A and B are shown apart, each in its own frame.
Chain A
Amino acid sequence: MADLKNAPVPDAETLVDIYRRMIRIERNDDAIRKTVRLGRLTMPYYSARGQEVIPSTISALLNKEDQICTIYRGIHDMVAKDMPLRPLWAEIAGRIDGTCKGKGGPMHLTHPESGVMVTTGVVGSSMPIANGLAWAAKLDGSKRVAIAYFGDGASNIGAFHESLNLASLWKLPVIFVCQNNGFAEHTRYENATSVDFISKRAAGYAMPGFTVDGNDPVAMYAAAHTAIARARDGEGPTLLECKTFRFFGHVLGDDDFYMTKEEKAAAMADDPLPKFRAKLIADGHATEDRLAKMQADIEAEIADAQEFGLNSPFPSADELRRDIFAEEIPA
């Protein structure tokens, strides 16, 4: 079975690309949170602040046509996959120019052009569908891979186990990426999970499973590169357990009573973003100026997208009769 000993190390430009995705996620998340707090966006928001490294590193290794299936806490996965921000903002604002005409909203964005195929609000449901995305890649004879993103809690749903078994049996080009932030809503990992590491569950399905520091881009790169290469080479699925933390609770407004103040403070002090930024500069991979310019460009992109989204018209009530089937439902 695969191991990570000889996994490649990201070069300077890849590291900067990972950082670009991370800062785009973080700035966008910050703008969404502020807009929700101002009451200009009315939606349940599941911030992934703190989990940026995982999809950023994976997306740096993906091609545009590679596909993902993600979850309600998944806007970071979409932004990492280079989803354009204008239709993203219009969607979370429920407007007609949104990726889904405002019908899906923040828990259900779909944007096939970016490879964002399904976003589910049902825990555990990303994995079975990602298998199908991978199956299509195999049937097409393409080198495309599929990513299933999900949380630690989702590994306790039957669908997780069925999906890993099927993917292994059919040698599907799929990577199961568990973003283990230690909590499922208010329940601590250890109070709901039978194993100390979710990656151990891979053994039951005869596939490699790795637990990695999901806040460390280099460690993430090694694991993701290995898993993606296996998938592209027809060797089948891999389970990646990426350890991380979510800064803003389960849903915005959550007061985090279920964790200690110290625990939360320690996790937030370990913020992967400033750490990685400082390291890029210290290692000579990027200059302060370059990163500042990058950030300014991203902030401008977000401001434009926000403006666009919040000014797009709402869908008309006729939209309730469209997209149910290919043919419109008669009034």
Chain B
Amino acid sequence: MSEMVKMNGLQAINAAMFEAMEADPKVLVLGEDIADREGGGVTGTMRGLSTKFGDHRVCTTPISEQAIIGAAIGVAINGYKPVAEIMLMNFTTVAMDMIFNHAAKLRFMSGGQTSVPLTIRTLTGAGWQTAGQHADHLEGWFAHAAGIKVVCPSNPADYKGLLLSCIQDPDPCLFVETGGTLFVPGEVAVDQGPIPLGKARIVQEGTDVTIISYSTMMLRCQAALAGLAEAGISAELIDLRTISPWDKQAVLDSAAKTGRVVIVHEAVRNFGPGAEIAATINEELYGQLKGPVRRLGGPYSPVPFSKPLEDAFLVTPEQIVEAVKGLMG
């Protein structure tokens, strides 16, 4: 066992960036407010990088999301490995043409001649009263685009290991950080290396029900575990970690074992990632399930400002327990 250190997600990302930049001079960083002069990013995750690696590798940009992703694509096509920060996930919308029509598709459209080893880091999540334009979970949009991987870590070790993998990956990756998970400390191995993309993690083994989640909702699922244990329910909890491509095997194996599935995400339930997962489980395990696959997610609404409305927008551990109990019959 290697030595463990306590750190939060911000520190884990920072550590991954230092390692990646040290190991490979082709790794670049660009985004708004990211140099040390500006504080190393709004959450400080890029702190120290510009001082150590210089302004030619760590570039603060104007507020120009389209130009940020465009430049990252162009430099990536030439063999660099840019890590572009889009301050908040909602602002990816300003760069959607670059991400969706270009970054994701250029390998295919060029018949494999070019590739875009680009990592886009972004941050989101409700709970901070930032209302309708600063808190959306849009991972489902990106998962719908063939050619870009979508990664949603929930703990410091995954923040580090998955970011290292995104940077090394030969294709574009969207790395989604969440306000609800970034500040929560956890144990990280001092030599934590890359964690493979597309691999889920079984957080707890169980036999009665499979709960599938990721990002901030993982923490709420973990908070629900005690209530479930109290009710005598043996729950298996899966942290999906990568939304696209997602770990079908791990999910299907678990669902086949328990026969009951609840999927929990913060993204709006309608057309959310849970719909794809539920549909796949139904297709593959029809007849083996003990009940319908349940989905818990945000209501069909923009994220509201008012605190009680925002609270009502987010799935609670109690609702997770209730949903599972409902399945147990």
Contacts and interface: CB of A to CB of B under 8 A. Distances in A.
Contacts of B305: 43, 94, 102-108
A185 B32 contact: yes
Contacts of A107: 130-131, 133-134, 305
A122 B90 contact: yes
A108 B131 contact: yes
B38 interface: yes
Contacts of B161: none
Interface string A79-116: 00000000000000011000001111111100000000
B235 to A, nearest CB: 27
B18 interface: no
B132 interface: yes
B94 A124 contact: yes
A108 B132 contact: yes
A330 B63 CA distance: 40
B68 to A, nearest CB: 11
B91 interface: yes
Nearest to B299: A320
B165 interface: no
A317 interface: yes
Given A158-B64, A320-B313, A102 B301 contact: no
A153 B306 contact: no
B4 interface: no
B62 A102 contact: no
Interface in B50-104: 60-67, 90-91, 93-94
Nearest to B130: A44
Contact of A191 (B60, B134, B307): B60
A187 B304 contact: no
A230 B37 CA distance: 42
B229 to A, nearest CB: 29
Interface in A312-327: 314-315, 317, 319-321, 324
Interface string B273-298: 00000000000000000000000000
A321 B63 CA distance: 34
A184 interface: yes
A104 B132 contact: yes
A185 to B, nearest CB: 5
A257 to B, nearest CB: 7
B134 A121 contact: yes
Contacts of B313: 320
B60 A187 contact: yes
A187 B50 CA distance: 14
Nearest to B93: A122
B300 A329 contact: yes
Contacts of B312: 317, 320
A101 B42 CA distance: 30
Nearest to B63: A153
Contacts of A314: 306-309
A124 B133 CA distance: 13
A317 B63 contact: no
Nearest to B91: A122
B133 A157 contact: no
Contacts of B301: 320-321, 324, 329
Contacts of A95: 306
A121 B39 contact: no
Contact of B63 (A120, A123, A257): A123
Contact of B33 (A106, A123, A185, A319): A185
A105 B129 contact: yes
Contacts of A278: none
B141 interface: no
A157 B304 contact: no
B183 to A, nearest CB: 16
A35 interface: no
A154 interface: yes
B189 to A, nearest CB: 33
Contact of B307 (A42, A104, A122, A123): A42
Given A122-B94, A158-B64, A320-B299, A102 B38 contact: no
Contact of B129 (A44, A186, A319, A324): A44
A311 interface: no
A192 B63 contact: yes
B128 interface: yes
A196 B130 CA distance: 33
A154 B67 CA distance: 13
Interface string A143-164: 0000000000110111100000
Interface of B: 32-33, 37-39, 42, 60-67, 90-91, 93-94, 128-134, 299-302, 304-309, 312-313
Q: Which 9 A-B pairs have the closest CB atoms?
A: A105-B305, A94-B306, A102-B306, A156-B62, A186-B38, A192-B62, A121-B133, A317-B312, A105-B131
7 contacts: A102-B305, A157-B64, A157-B94, A184-B32, A187-B60, A314-B308, A324-B300
Interface of A: 42-44, 94-95, 101-108, 120-124, 153-154, 156-159, 184-187, 191-193, 257-258, 314-315, 317, 319-321, 324, 329
